[in-house]
C-alpha cells in the first residue's frame, strides 16, 4: 500500500470539493443559457476577467479557455454549473450593491469578484 503524502491529501480534497460543487444543481432562477446579457465575464487562460454589473442584471459568462469552468458564488447566490470550452452561460447579479467573490468549482484556485452597482 502506498503512503499518504500532502500532495495526495490536497488532490483528494480538491476532487471532493469539485464533486460536491458539480453534484449540486444550479439555482434555475439565477442561471440561464439563453437571452441577452447586461454584463460580460470572460474566462481565459485559467483566469476570470473583471466584471461590473447593475443590481439584478444578467451577466454572461463566456468561456474562451481550453477547459470547462464554473462561476460559483462563494456565498451561494449564483452558480453557472460547468461551462464547456467555447460555451457561454449566464447568471443574475445579486440585487444588493457590493462586491461578491466567486470561484471555479472545477479549479478552486481560480477566483474573481462581481462588483454590483446600485
Is the pLDDT at 102 greater than 90? The verdict is yes
Question: CATH number of the domain that 88 lies in?
Answer: 2.60.40.420
Total domains, the chain: 1
pLDDT in tens, 57-85: 999 999 999 999 999 999 999 999 999 99
pLDDT of residue 19: 47
pLDDT of residue 1: 53
Does residue 29 fall inside a structural domain? Answer: yes
Does residue 1 fall inside a structural domain? Answer: no
pLDDT of residue 25: 46
Does residue 46 fall inside a structural domain? Answer: yes
pLDDT of residue 34: 39
Give per-residue burial for 27-38: e unless 16+ CB within 10 Å, then b: eeebbbeeeebe
pLDDT of residue 44: 97
Does residue 111 fall inside a structural domain? Answer: yes
- Ramachandran category for residue 49: left, alpha or beta (phi over 0 → left; psi -120 to 50 → alpha): beta
Report the alpha-carbon distance of residue 23 to residue 117 in Å, rounded. 31
pLDDT in tens, 4-44: 666 555 555 555 545 444 444 444 434 433 345 789 999 99
Amino acid at each position: 500500500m502506498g503512503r499518504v503524502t500532502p500532495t495526495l491529501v490536497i488532490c483528494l480534497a480538491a476532487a471532493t470539493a469539485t464533486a460536491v460543487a458539480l453534484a449540486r444543481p444550479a439555482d434555475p432562477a439565477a442561471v440561464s443559457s439563453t437571452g441577452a446579457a447586461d454584463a460580460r465575464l470572460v474566462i481565459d487562460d485559467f483566469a476570470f476577467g473583471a466584471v461590473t454589473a447593475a443590481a439584478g442584471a444578467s451577466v454572461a459568462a463566456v468561456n474562451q479557455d481550453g477547459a470547462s469552468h464554473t462561476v460559483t458564488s462563494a456565498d451561494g447566490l449564483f452558480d453557472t454549473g460547468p461551462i464547456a470550452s467555447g460555451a457561454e452561460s449566464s447568471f443574475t447579479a445579486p440585487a444588493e450593491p457590493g462586491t461578491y467573490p466567486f470561484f471555479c468549482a472545477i479549479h478552486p484556485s481560480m477566483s474573481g469578484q462581481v462588483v454590483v452597482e446600485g
